[in-house]
């Protein structure tokens, strides 16, 4: 296990994020390439909640009010898309509103955060296909698709059940998780990205490679989404099946890591030479592993916690941009969609977010987004 000084990293993050506030301004960042400058995506894009999420977690971790002030209006900015024509809003409203409206309400009690979070939960619940017991992914004509990423979004439904007392949100989340567990997780703990169902009958048809190398490969970030998502589902439901699944995925992820604990973009490439790493996969997994460590007995917890610490040490020492003020992102060498050559080998705002979230967990922040696990 590598030594990790979480308190020292928090100080580095304060300096870094303070600089990012000035550099990013009103942008909705997603990817920073070779020039180190974050792009400005539309606020209906699925990553639009992660920059304000960083600000909220920094506020929770430090109590410094300028982070709250910089984050405050973001849920209002994103909620405009519920009243405007948009092909951007889909199953990822969980990513967008958990890290804005929900954490805002959780920390401050803001009623508008509550209202917007529930609006997003209703939107997500409305995408549920009862014939196949899955939440439909994306828009367009892919009516029967579900994806592993959505295991993260269903935390929005568990939250909505807690704050309203209405079990319907929770029931949808559990049924989607059961479907993903049945069809999307292999016996060895690797996962599939896209699951295709007949949208009318609900019959399972096939899986597709998506952002992985092939249908039978093991996309590393998808593995991290599943690890995190099934852990949260267990904490919300108490159902041991989801814990067993989370542990199986965690064991596959840990066993597949290279020496520096940061995987390539897929664990099953024919050859790894000259293929990019994905630091975001490790950051997402580290945050999930810390939550998993807290969910199991102490005799098991050390495996998951030590793996998370090793990952975070490597990211902090070899992938972070502490000494590069011109780099707007926190982590380098993230890979978005390698098969389509989109967003390859740069900074990804969700990698930055989950790195900050993991450090917040280590540093004892009270709310942050791991509140989406077991409750507020």
Residue 204 lies in a domain: yes
Closest by alpha carbon to 99, among 62, 152, 151? Answer: 152
* Confidence (pLDDT) at 2: 64
Asked whether residue 168 is domain-assigned, the answer is yes
Q: Is 225 annotated as a binding residue?
A: yes
345 annotated ligand binder: no
The CATH number for 49's domain is 1.50.10.10
Tell me: is residue 56 an annotated ligand-binding position: no
Q: How far apart are CA 73 and CA 356, in angstroms?
A: 21
Residue 372: predicted pLDDT = 55
- Decide if 190 contacts 252 (C-beta within 8 A): yes
SS3 of residue 369 by DSSP: coil
Closest CA to 307 of 269, 268, 358, 356: 358
Average pLDDT across each block of 10 residues of the chain; the chain has 376 residues. List them in order. Answer: 82 98 98 98 97 96 97 97 82 97 95 98 98 97 97 97 97 98 98 98 98 97 98 95 98 98 97 96 97 95 97 98 97 97 97 96 71 49
Q: Would residue 1 count as lying in a domain?
A: no
- Looking at the domain assignment, is residue 267 inside a domain? yes
Q: What is the model's pLDDT at position 369?
A: 54
21 contacts: CB under 8 Å, gap ≥ 6? 55, 66, 70
Residues acting as catalytic residues: 92, 149
Q: Which residue range is the domain that position 246 belongs to?
A: 6-374
Calculate ∠ Cα 319-323-324, nearest 5°.
Answer: 85
Supply the pTM of this predicted model: 0.97
- Answer left, alpha or beta for residue 140, where phi above 0 means left and psi between -120 and 50 means alpha: left
According to the annotation, is 18 in a ligand binding site? no
Q: What's the pLDDT at 366?
A: 67
Q: How many domains does the chain have?
A: 1
Please say whether the beta carbons of 67 and 60 come within 8 A. Answer: no
Whole-number mean pLDDT of the chain? 95
């Amino acid at each position: 296990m590598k030594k990790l000084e979480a308190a020292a990293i928090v100080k580095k993050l304060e300096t870094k994020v303070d600089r990012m506030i000035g550099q990013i301004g009103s942008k909705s960042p997603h990817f920073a390439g070779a020039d180190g400058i974050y792009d400005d995506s539309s606020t209906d894009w699925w990553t639009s909640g992660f920059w304000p999420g960083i600000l909220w977690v920094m506020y929770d971790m430090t109590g410094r009010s300028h982070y709250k002030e910089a984050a405050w209006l973001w849920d209002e900015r994103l909620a405009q898309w519920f009243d405007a024509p948009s092909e951007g809003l889909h199953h990822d409203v969980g990513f967008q509103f958990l890290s804005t409206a929900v954490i805002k309400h959780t920390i401050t009690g803001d009623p508008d955060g509550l209202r917007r979070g529930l609006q997003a939960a209703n939107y997500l619940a409305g995408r549920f296909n009862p014939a196949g017991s899955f939440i439909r992914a994306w828009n367009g004509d892919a009516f029967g698709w579900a994806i592993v990423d959505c295991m993260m979004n269903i935390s929005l439904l568990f939250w909505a059940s807690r704050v309203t007392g209405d079990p319907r949100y929770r029931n949808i989340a559990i049924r989607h998780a059961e479907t993903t567990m049945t069809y999307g997780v292999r016996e060895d703990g690797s996962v599939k990205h896209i699951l295709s169902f007949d949208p009318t009958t609900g019959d399972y048809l096939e899986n597709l490679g998506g952002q992985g190398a092939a249908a039978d490969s093991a996309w590393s970030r998808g593995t991290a989404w599943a690890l995190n998502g099934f852990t949260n589902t267990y904490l919300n439901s108490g159902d041991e099946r989801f814990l067993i699944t989370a542990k199986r995925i965690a064991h596959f992820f840990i066993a597949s890591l290279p020496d520096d604990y940061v995987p390539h973009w897929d664990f099953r490439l024919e050859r790894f030479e000259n293929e990019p790493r994905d630091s975001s996969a490790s950051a997402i997994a580290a945050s999930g592993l810390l939550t998993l460590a807290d969910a199991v007995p102490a005799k098991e917890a050390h495996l998951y916690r030590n793996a998370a610490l090793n990952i975070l040490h490597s990211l902090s020492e070899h992938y972070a941009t502490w000494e590069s003020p011109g780099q707007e992102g926190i982590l380098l060498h993230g890979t978005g969609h390698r098969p389509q050559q989109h967003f390859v080998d740069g900074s990804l705002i969700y990698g930055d977010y989950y790195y900050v979230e993991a450090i917040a967990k280590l540093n004892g922040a009270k709310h942050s987004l791991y509140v989406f696990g077991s409750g507020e």
